Amino acid sequence: MPGRVADASLLAAVAFGEPEAAAAAALIGEADLYEPTLLGYELASIARKKISNYPEQRDGLLMGLRAVLSLDIHWIEPDHLQVIDLALESGLSTYDASYLHLARTLAVPLATYDRKMRVAAETLGLDL
């Protein structure tokens, strides 16, 4: 299977049934997912915010989070010093730069709905 790094914006769309969930799932396809360990925390934070705003949807939101976190994901701890350099180079947060770092290091495409991250990836010559 080909590999791919999918950021939190894309996987949150799938987990929480956002309008672009089908398109996000299609971008992931059958690819092996390689993710920074921080993804779980980012998705949990998104879930907390959604539950705070829509408490009646708590069970469904947690079920979606559980489903995405149970995917066959290759969890990777990125090199934090390299992530800092990439964040400074790209103007991204270190969180977002973690996804770019993995895509660059593993030479796999990046899937994201984040416009700033897409621009940075294109500037670095990464596949999307």
Per domain, the residue ranges of the chain are: 3-123
Question: Could you say which DSSP state residue 55 is in?
Answer: G
Alpha helix stretches (DSSP H) within the chain: 8-15, 21-28, 38-53, 58-69, 80-90, 94-106, 115-123
Check if the beta carbon of residue 65 is closer than 8 Å to that of residue 15. Answer: yes
CATH superfamily of the domain spanning 3-123 = 5'-nuclease (3.40.50.1010)
Q: How far apart are the first and last CA of the chain?
A: 16
pTM summary value: 0.91
pLDDT digits (tens), the chain, 128 positions: 689 999 999 999 999 999 999 999 998 888 999 999 999 999 999 999 999 999 999 999 999 999 999 999 999 999 999 999 999 999 999 999 999 999 999 999 999 999 999 999 999 888 88
